[in-house]
Amino acid sequence: MFLINSSSILFASLLLISAIIKHKKNLPILFITSILYAYIILGPSISGFSYQDIDLEVLYQYQTIFIILFLIPVLLFANFIVREFDLANDEILRGKFNISIFLPIFLLSILTIFLYTIFEYGLFFRRMGHEGLYQTSSEIPSYLKYIYRGASEASFFIIMTLRFYAIHELNISSKRFVQLTILLYGLVFGAYFLLNSRMQFLFIIFSIFVPLGKKYDIRPNQLKYIILISLLIIGMTLFRELFLESFNQRVNGDDFFNTLKQSLILIFERLNIFEIFVLTQNYNMSPFSINLTGILNTFQLPIAYFFDKTYYLNALATLQTSSSVAIINDITGKSFIDFPKSQVTDFYFSFGILSIPIFTIFYCFLIKLISDALAQPRLNFKTLFIFYLLTFIFQFEKEFLTILISPLKWAPLFLLLFLFRPKKLI
């Protein structure tokens, strides 16, 4: 197993390097493939060394399966099928466009309600433990909670869409409002995610700087980006552990090198999506079994909000709101609350090992769809849908089923941005 695991990691690493070289201007592809590599190879491989008195054979066994059935096919697809990025030409940007000032005003109103909610109910810093977060969230009125959750989940989509609108030649007064909205959303959600989620903070940075047209062809130097992102993640971890959550004492700040080592271990442990396989290795989980508990939980929870308040409140109180957690608890009889997850492992828990190639094909289809559309974006429904897909595919650490139905929360925002898109003046 060690030889197969090492060989698969080496092959995947070479494919990633090849993809980085080939797609030097395709920042979305670079970001997507790097995320997959981090979660499937870096996190599990490095954090495995920190385990003590645990048989890691199971971890490396499942890591090898997901590398061979998912990561390597996706990287091969990125190398040989996805075309090199040719950013949009000036043709689509020619002409004058008009955009209603109602759109930025409405979005700024949503942002104001979001700010009111997080400060009024003490949610600016969400890392208060599962029980504390449940207690605090339960005090928020339903309509405010809907706006608060919808705004935070749609923030990446809103920023990318408005940036795309702004590269067109808009009427001056409206364009200034659009640019102001982009700035405020970037500042507010940048600060919010900086405190609460390292990965989502990176998504905000990406949504602000991803090239969306020829004027924004920044021709990134990959090495500089890799170093910058790595330093950013380490810095955010140190800030959180030494200042915001120093009471947890997971990091000792007395010695620099020891502090850095402990921080790196925390980062890689959070990326170890195969940890749950190690923790449940004695429960004889069949890799071919199908368990629909997660699917039922995913769809039943939002329905119960309207028709079965008892079930809904009990699920929140017991913190059983995750499809992966629901499946693992159903199999083991335990009461897991949280563990590192991913879209592909969530899909596996529900449909078994034979479903991984299906998920891989679906994922490759999304990658090509996104890459082709961003090369020649248009002011139409398809381009806005691509921006939504980016928010889906970037959040690899979220459960597949949960994030698939998340647009139901902010579908009105999607329709609003589409209906009030810039119109070309005749």
**Residue 74 has what pLDDT?**
95
**Residue 64 has what pLDDT?**
93
**Residue 7 has what pLDDT?**
92
Q: What is the pLDDT of residues 73-100, one digit of tens each?
A: 999 999 988 776 555 444 455 567 788 8
**Residue 286 has what pLDDT?**
72
**Residue 258 has what pLDDT?**
78
**Residue 92 has what pLDDT?**
53
What b/e readout covers 205-226, taking b as 16+ CB neighbours within 10 angstroms? bbbbebbbbeeeeeebeeeebe
**Residue 215 has what pLDDT?**
44
Cβ 53 vs Cβ 278: under 8 Å? no
Low-confidence ranges of the chain (pLDDT < 70): 50-55, 84-95, 127-136, 169, 172, 210-226, 244, 246-248, 253, 302, 305-309, 311-313, 315-321, 402-404, 406-408, 425-426
Looking at every residue in the chain, the average pLDDT score rounds to 80
Cβ 258 vs Cβ 32: under 8 Å? no
Q: In what order do the strands lie in the sheet with 423-424?
A: 169-170, 96-98, 423-424
Global pTM reads: 0.84
Listed by start position, the domains of the chain span 2-85+273-362, 90-213+377-424
Residues making up the chain, counted from first to last: 426
**Residue 54 has what pLDDT?**
64
**Residue 112 has what pLDDT?**
96
